């Protein structure tokens, strides 16, 4: 680990329970039975504690979508060809993808980061060019990245978080695009949760049973080849990860240093969170699990991180779509917290002790 990454990690402070208690005290004094608005109260209290302000604002929201290709697609682990990655980046830039629609719905900006797409893009509004390499290598046959590349990709994520903070962004969401990326995500899930590949590997883009069994075998082959050590998260990321997953890890670390929440999307984003949490355990306090994917490993990852999803809608698109929906629930919780009357303000009798 470089001094620069170590310095970033050292800036991440655990969430102060005293701030969460202050928020909960107000929530408990609103005109409702205590706890009756459930998870809306929980995310509001978490946001107050993250920001360390009694009435924090939530005005500016951004989804950062990291895009990268994956050498492991050569093993036949995806239902789609690799060129779909760069084609979808163009779709994002035109505003025609699922994440664009849902981000507009919740009033969030979308930023697309080329961190490792095997295609040369021209300059375009909304596209951030930070290509570390033209995709990762085939993790079933060699390390997906060098450790220098993995670190560089993490630092891209940190930089994008810091740029968002400089713009006044109040909450961030992580999205992804990369054909084949459920394979490295499942490999990371297996390493960090200690579960076998068969338990954490799903159908991704919609492969059949035979292809799923093959995908599990490819991941097991990679684990047997690299023998990744979860106590060395940077090495694990380099061995079996992906550039966009590294970028998401960095975005999480950068958001946490700036005391901003990071809304997690699905399986890929949560793989990035596994790496971030292994590097900086305190970063988990800044994470909000927006939803639970149909990918079987997603539940296992969330449980490992101690995260409970806000939604369970059978989503499996990625891109940050589920995280965008999470923005709406976070805003709803904060409006309850800030705008609902207290018993004294409303002249309503409280429950007797």
**Which residues fall within 8 angstroms of residue 89, CB to CB, at 6 or more apart?**
67, 112, 114, 117, 119, 121, 127, 177
Q: What is the dihedral of CA 285, 288, 292, 296, to 10 degrees?
A: -30
- Whole-angstrom distance, CA of residue 258 vs CA of residue 234: 22
Give the residue ranges of DSSP H helices in the chain.
3-10, 17-28, 38-51, 84-94, 98-106, 147-166, 182-193, 197-200, 209-226, 233-240, 243-257, 267-279, 296-305, 321-339, 343-346
Is 53 designated active site?
no
Please name which of 273, 193, 279 lies closest in space to residue 290, comparing C-alpha atoms.
273
**Annotated catalytic residue, options 319, 339, 345, 352:** 319
- The DSSP H or E segment spanning 196 is none
Catalytic residues: 319
């Amino acid at each position: 680990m470089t001094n620069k990454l170590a310095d970033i990690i050292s800036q991440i402070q655990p969430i102060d329970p005293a701030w969460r208690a202050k928020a909960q005290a107000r929530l408990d004094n609103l005109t409702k039975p205590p706890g009756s608005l459930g998870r809306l109260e929980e995310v509001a209290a978490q946001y107050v504690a993250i920001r360390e302000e009694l009435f924090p604002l939530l005005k500016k929201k951004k989804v950062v979508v990291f895009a990268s290709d994956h050498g492991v697609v050569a093993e036949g682990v995806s239902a789609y060809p690799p060129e779909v990655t760069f084609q979808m980046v163009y779709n994002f830039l035109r505003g025609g993808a699922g994440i664009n629609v849902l981000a507009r719905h919740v009033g969030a900006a979308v930023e697309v980061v080329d961190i490792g797409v095997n295609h040369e893009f021209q300059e375009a509004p909304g596209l951030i060019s930070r290509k570390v390499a033209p995709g990762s290598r085939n993790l079933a046959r060699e390390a997906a990245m060098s450790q220098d590349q993995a670190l560089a990709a993490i630092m891209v994520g940190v930089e994008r978080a810091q740029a968002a903070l400089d713009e006044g962004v109040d909450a961030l969401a992580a999205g992804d695009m990369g054909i084949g990326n459920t394979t490295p995500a499942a490999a990371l899930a297996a390493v960090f949760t200690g579960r076998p590949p068969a338990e954490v590997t799903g159908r991704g883009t919609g492969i059949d049973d035979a292809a799923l069994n093959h995908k599990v075998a490819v991941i097991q082959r990679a684990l047997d080849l690299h023998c990744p050590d979860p106590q060395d998260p940077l090495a694990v990321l380099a061995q079996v990860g992906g550039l966009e997953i590294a970028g998401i890890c960095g975005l999480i670390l950068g958001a946490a240093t700036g005391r901003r929440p990071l809304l997690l999307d699905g399986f890929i984003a949560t793989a990035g969170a596994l790496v971030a949490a292994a590097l900086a355990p305190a970063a988990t306090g800044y994470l909000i699990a927006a939803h639970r994917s149909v990918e079987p490993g997603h539940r296992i990852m969330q449980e490992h991180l101690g995260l409970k999803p806000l939604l369970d809608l059978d989503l499996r698109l990625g891109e940050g779509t589920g995280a965008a929906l999470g923005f709406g629930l976070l805003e709803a919780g904060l409006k309850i917290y800030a705008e609902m009357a207290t018993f004294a303000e409303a002249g309503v009798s409280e429950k007797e002790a």
